Amino acid sequence: MEKSPGTPRPTAKDIAADVRRLLVRGELGPGDQLPAARELAKKYGVTIVKVQNAYRELGDEGLVFSEVGRGTFVADPSRPVDSAQRDGSAFLTLATEISAMHETIRLLGERLERLEQIVDSDGSARAR
């Protein structure tokens, strides 16, 4: 999403979405370094702060991490989450959603067991 004359400048969310697309397509993988904020800001025609906000958003989602003096890198999903990532609001939201899914799966399992008790192996319903 490069800036062209006459088009509005992208927001931090737009830049983050572009990086997500690169991740989904496999053009960026675990351990790959993202472009320097200054370089990306120049490419998009935006301020460095806007790119840093995009990287922060991706970091809050656990997709990237930054190392002072080294740069920003794609996170490896197979590595454990560190305490800084665990404190992010995106992590807490995701953890809550996963807990809710586990509870739903447990309840569905109980319903399935009850249905299996009602229905014979040949598919006919048992008398209750």
- What pLDDT score does 102 carry? 86
The architecture in CATH of the region 1-77 reads Orthogonal Bundle (1.10)
* Segments in the chain below pLDDT 50: none
Q: What pLDDT was estimated at residue 14?
A: 95
In the chain, the percentage of residues whose pLDDT exceeds 90 is 46
pTM of this prediction exceeds 0.85: no
Numbered ranges of CATH 1.10.10.10 in the chain = 1-77
pLDDT at residue number 85: 53
Long-range contacts of 43-52 (CB under 8 A, 24+ apart): 43/2, 43/3, 44/1, 44/2, 44/3, 44/9, 44/10, 44/15, 45/3, 45/9, 46/3, 46/9, 46/10, 46/15, 50/10, 50/11, 50/12, 50/15, 51/12, 51/15
List, in order, residues 6 or more apart from 72 with CB less than 8 Å away: 33, 34, 37, 55, 59, 64, 65, 66
Query: Which pLDDT value is given to residue 119?
Result: 84
